[in-house]
Amino acid sequence: MSSAISRLGTWAASVMVALVGCNTDTRIEYQHDPTGRIETELSLTRPELAPFRVDGVVAAPLFRMITPQSTQVWIKLWSTSSKTVSVRSALLAGSGAQSAQRQSFATEQSTLTEKPASKGVQYGLILLGELSNEALASMAKDGQAQFSIELRVNPATEYQPLRFVITRHATKQWATH
């Protein structure tokens, strides 16, 4: 009898804990909102993408947490046909009071936008580097960070500077299985 009551009590406590949301988590993500939507919409013609387009290629920075300690910085390059794209002088900096904090990814890298997505859109990826989550959180303490790159689409053309405002997003996530 007491065992049954004990079990019932544990159940009640379990349900209480579940109800108050013990199995939820707050996920922090850093995104560039205008280009972040390309992933789902797969449209490169939206007017807000114009500042991030060079010769038909739209550049989208991608901050991907790879472990609880570090985040990878990628550039995802979207186009409607295969193009050779080069990126150099990438720089991530804090904004406002955190502007002194900087992390550079200076190495020049190239890729071909040949991977098919959908709706006639193709993409290529460049991994710029990695930084600690602590450093990234510190840079975006005010909710934003500045990211800049130089990009060219054809080896014969000049590099073009591009600037992005990276925004910090917190979302409530539930335990998944």
Partner 1 sequence: MGPDLRRESRQDKLSPFVPPPVHAPQPSLWSSAPAPGPAPAPPAEAHQATSSPGLLSSLWAGAKGVGSKVYHGLTDWNFEGRDAHNGKSPTQEEISQDPSWRLMGPKETIYHDNNRGAAERKYVRDDPGSTLGLGGKEAVIDGDTGKPMEAGPYQATYNYCNPAKGGIGDMSLGGIGRNLGHFALDVIPYWFGGTVRGDEGTTFGQRMLGPENYKKANEKWEGAKGWVGDKLSGVGKGISAGWHGLTDWMGGKDTDQQHDQ
Q: Using CB under 8 A as the criterion, which residues of the chain lie in contact with partner 1 when the complex forms?
A: 6, 9-14, 16-18, 22-27, 62, 64-68, 72, 74, 76, 118, 125, 127, 171-177
Shortest distance, CB of residue 6 to partner 1, whole angstroms? 8
The closest alpha carbon to 71, from 161, 156, 139, belongs to 139
Shortest distance, CB of residue 174 to partner 1, whole angstroms? 5
Comparing CB distances to partner 1, the nearer of 95 and 131 is 131
3-state secondary structure of 31: strand
Q: Show Cβ contacts of residue 144 under 8 Å, excluding neighbours closer than 6 positions.
A: 95, 96, 165, 166, 167, 168
Comparing CB distances to partner 1, the nearer of 135 and 159 is 135
CA distance 27 to 156: 42
Comparing CB distances to partner 1, the nearer of 100 and 175 is 175
Comparing CB distances to partner 1, the nearer of 98 and 109 is 109
Q: Are 53 and 120 in contact, with CB atoms under 8 Å apart?
A: no
Shortest distance, CB of residue 36 to partner 1, whole angstroms? 10
Shortest distance, CB of residue 12 to partner 1, whole angstroms? 7
Comparing CB distances to partner 1, the nearer of 6 and 99 is 6
CA distance 157 to 171: 41
Shortest distance, CB of residue 127 to partner 1, whole angstroms? 8
Burial 111-145 (b: 16+ CB within 10 A, else e): bebeeeeeeebbbbebebbebebebbeebbeeebb
